[in-house]
């Protein structure tokens, strides 16, 4: 019977591990009730597994939700900070220029000559470019930094708005720029008593810029808690003179006083670099000429400085097509001689003296020399200094001479005050000296090495040419970069000509400052203005 069943059996469903399940009569039939199909492999979750899943999923979803909320909140914060930074950049780009251009300024909440809507709260008022109309001085340019309320629905915020008026029209601004969107409704006006002052709400009426050391503006954007400070030095400020000691105003290390069509000329491949110095007005250049193109550039010439202050109201002092990147121009209502009247001309010593000679060396005492000392070529000369020394005739530099001027003032009276060597090279060293030229010109010559250091108390001046004629000149040259240093050159009525010696390729000459009617650089000449 078993054998028959086996013989008559047919293959049915496949069992575990690929073994067929046999059914009777060779037919496939459902499994009998109560029987377990161990080959199905379909088991459910246990209670413990379900509990673990129910505990973990809320933790994951909660962490993801918290991260998403944080990202959304951070996006708003980042947006606010970017906006705040943009506000600071916008206002700082105009604030310095406005303050340095101003001839008068005020922090009154409203004032005569307020630009734009007089109902706005003025925080800072500035004016310049004054003309007389009917006997009354009227500013042609007025700038107001105002606190302006902005109401949306029931909420009121305040914006810092820069109003810019020109052509004497203060009622209709030529431009209106929002500098900050969410300042405090009680925003303090800036203080005008110096870089270390702190705005405290104190206001000040219209004040001449010459009496304002600096303007400090602390802007509080309450909506985001962002606070930034704007600080601008007043270019026109004159320090207070204390204890009868003359103190000169801060001035541009390179000041060109000519009011003609030209003033500063840079030849092909020449360069001027103005370094920042605490004794001067930064690394700026001042141009007195109101004419366009008064600063001319040759091919590949360059002028490196922080700013260029010009009396040209259109800010076109730099000639068109300049191949360099000149400094940014700012309007200045006046560029004047910063050292005028600060110290007086030296007096003549009176006593006539001569030099003594020992071999090829000369020793020359202080006093008056009424004729050319006649130094031999190749000699060594020492002036002992002390009280003023005067040369009533042209002072001729001999060829190949080594000449030392010790501490003191030296007066050169000749029509050509200092004459260059006829040939060869020379070396001139001045230790704490002032070369005063009342009515002549100075030419150290081609190939002469020069090193001059100023007397303490003479504001850095080493060469003072007081001649007022335009034909007067001080000619300086670059021979060796470690020797040719001229101190401060002050020639308000004449011209400084800087040239390059044929033997001085790729060298530069240095000066503490240049104050002259005109400044000309020959091609390939490099001048470094160090500042005192």
94 φ, ψ to 5°? -110, -25
Residue 365 pLDDT > 90, yes or no?
yes
Separation CA 450–CA 438 (nearest Å): 21
The per-residue pLDDT for range 280-335, each reduced to its tens digit, is 556 789 999 999 999 998 888 889 888 888 888 888 898 766 655 678 888 877 88
Cα Rg, the chain, nearest whole Å: 41
Handedness of CA 274, 276, 281, 283 (dihedral sign): positive
- State residue 369's pLDDT score: 95
Which residues, 6+ apart, have CB-to-CB distance to 424 below 8 Å?
377, 399, 400, 447
Give the residue-averaged pLDDT of 139-164.
Answer: 92
- pLDDT at 191 (0 to 100): 92
Q: What's the CA gap between 364 and 361, in Å, rounded? A: 10
Quickly state the pLDDT bin for 123 (edges 50, 70, 90): very high
Q: Is the pLDDT of residue 244 over 70?
A: no
User: Which is more confident, 27 or 125?
Assistant: 125
Instruction: Kindly tell me if the per-residue pLDDT of 518 is higher than 70.
Output: yes
Sorted by where each begins, the domain ranges of the chain are 84-233
Per-residue pLDDT, 44: 72
Confidence tier at 483 by pLDDT (50, 70, 90): low
Q: What's the rounded mean pLDDT across residues 510-530?
A: 91
Rounded percentage of the chain residues whose pLDDT exceeds 90: 30
pTM: 0.56
- The tokens for 179 are 């500098």
Give strand pairing partners of 476.
498
Residue with tokens 């060293």: 429
pLDDT above 70: percentage of residues in the chain? 79
Q: How much is the pLDDT for 436?
A: 95
pLDDT over 80 at 39, yes or no: no
pLDDT (0 to 100) of residue 55: 82
pLDDT in tens, 1-21: 444 444 444 444 444 444 454
pLDDT, tens digit (0-9, with 9 covering 90-100), for 55-69: 888 888 877 877 777
In this prediction, residue 378 has a pLDDT band, given cuts at 50, 70 and 90, of very high
pLDDT at 13: 46
CA-based nearest residue to 360, from 420, 396, 401: 401
The pLDDT of 437-442, averaged and rounded, is 89
Q: Where are the beta strands (DSSP E) in 212-345?
A: 214-221, 226-233, 254-256, 264-266, 271-274, 285-287, 295-297, 302-304, 307-310, 328-331
CA distance 414 to 323: 41
Q: Please say if the pLDDT value at position 25 is more than 50.
A: no
pLDDT at 372 over 90: no
**CA gap 40, 83 in Å, rounded:** 65
> Rounded to whole angstroms, how far apart are CA atoms 498 and 477?
6
**Residue 115 backbone dihedrals phi, psi, to 5 degrees:** -80, 135
pLDDT on residue 356:
94
Q: Which band of pLDDT confidence, cut at 50, 70 and 90, is reported for residue 382?
A: very high
> What is the C-alpha separation between 454 and 451, in angstroms, rounded?
10
Q: What angle do CA 246, 251, 257 make, to 5 degrees?
A: 110
Least confident residue range of 67-76, 92-101, 270-279: 67-76
Instruction: Please tell me which residue, 25 or 353, carries the higher pLDDT value.
Output: 353
Q: In the structure encoding, which two tokens stand for residue 525, read together?
A: 């000449």
Q: What is the DSSP secondary structure assignment for residue 211, as one 8-state letter?
A: G
User: Could you report the per-residue pLDDT of 171-205, keeping only the tens digit for each?
Assistant: 999 999 888 888 888 999 999 887 778 899 999 88
What mean pLDDT is reported for the chain? 80
pLDDT at 265: 93
**Of 66 and 349, the one with more pLDDT:** 349
């Amino acid at each position: 019977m078993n054998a028959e069943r086996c013989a008559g059996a047919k293959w049915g469903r496949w069992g575990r591990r690929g073994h067929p399940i046999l059914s009777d009569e060779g037919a496939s039939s459902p499994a009998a009730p109560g029987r377990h199909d161990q080959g199905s492999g379909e088991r459910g979750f246990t209670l413990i597994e379900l509990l673990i899943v129910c505990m973990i999923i809320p933790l994951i979803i909660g962490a993801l939700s918290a991260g998403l909320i944080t990202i959304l909140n951070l996006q708003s914060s980042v947006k606010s900070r970017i906006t705040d930074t943009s506000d600071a950049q916008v206002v700082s780009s105009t604030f310095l220029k406005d303050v340095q251009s101003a001839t008068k300024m005020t922090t009154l909440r409203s004032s005569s000559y307020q630009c734009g809507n007089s109902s706005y709260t003025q925080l800072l008022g500035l004016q310049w470019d004054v003309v007389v109309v009917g006997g009354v001085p009227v500013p042609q340019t007025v700038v107001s930094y105002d606190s302006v309320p902005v109401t949306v629905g029931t909420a009121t915020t305040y914006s810092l708005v820069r109003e810019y008026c020109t052509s004497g029209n203060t009622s209709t601004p030529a431009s209106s720029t929002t500098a900050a969107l969410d300042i405090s409704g009680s925003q303090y006006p800036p203080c005008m008593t110096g870089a270390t002052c702190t705005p405290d709400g104190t206001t000040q009426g219209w004040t001449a810029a010459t009496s304002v050391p600096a303007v400090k503006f602390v802007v509080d954007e309450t909506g985001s808690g962002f606070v930034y400070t704007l600080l601008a030095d007043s270019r026109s400020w004159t320090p207070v003179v204390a204890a009868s000691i003359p103190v000169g105003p801060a001035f541009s290390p390179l000041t060109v006083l000519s009011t003609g069509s030209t003033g500063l000329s840079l030849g092909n491949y020449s360069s001027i670099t103005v370094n920042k110095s605490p004794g001067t007005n930064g690394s700026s250049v001042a141009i007195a000429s109101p004419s366009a193109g008064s600063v001319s550039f040759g091919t590949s010439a360059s002028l490196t400085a922080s700013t260029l202050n010009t009396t040209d109201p259109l800010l076109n002092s730099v000639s068109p097509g300049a191949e360099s990147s000149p400094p940014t121009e700012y309007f200045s209502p006046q560029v004047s001689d910063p050292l005028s009247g600060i110290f007086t001309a030296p007096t003549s010593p009176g006593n006539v003296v001569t030099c003594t000679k020992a071999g090829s060396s000369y020793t020359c005492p202080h006093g008056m020399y009424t004729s050319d000392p006649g130094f031999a070529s190749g000699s060594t000369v020492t002036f002992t200094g002390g009280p003023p020394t005067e040369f009533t005739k042209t002072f001729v530099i001999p060829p190949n001479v080594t000449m030392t001027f010790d501490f003191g003032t030296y007066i050169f009276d000749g029509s050509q005050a200092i004459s260059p060597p006829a040939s060869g090279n020379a070396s001139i060293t001045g230790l704490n000296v002032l070369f005063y030229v009342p009515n002549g010109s100075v030419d150290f010559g081609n190939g002469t090495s020069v090193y001059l250091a100023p007397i303490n108390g003479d504001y850095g001046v080493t060469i003072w040419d007081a001649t007022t004629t335009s034909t007067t000149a001080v000619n300086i040259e670059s021979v060796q970069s470690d020797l040719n240093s001229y101190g401060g050159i002050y020639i308000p009525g004449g011209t400084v000509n800087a040239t390059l010696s044929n033997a001085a390729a790729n060298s530069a000459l240095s000066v503490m400052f240049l104050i002259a009617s005109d400044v000309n650089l020959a091609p390939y000449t490099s001048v470094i203005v160090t500042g005192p």
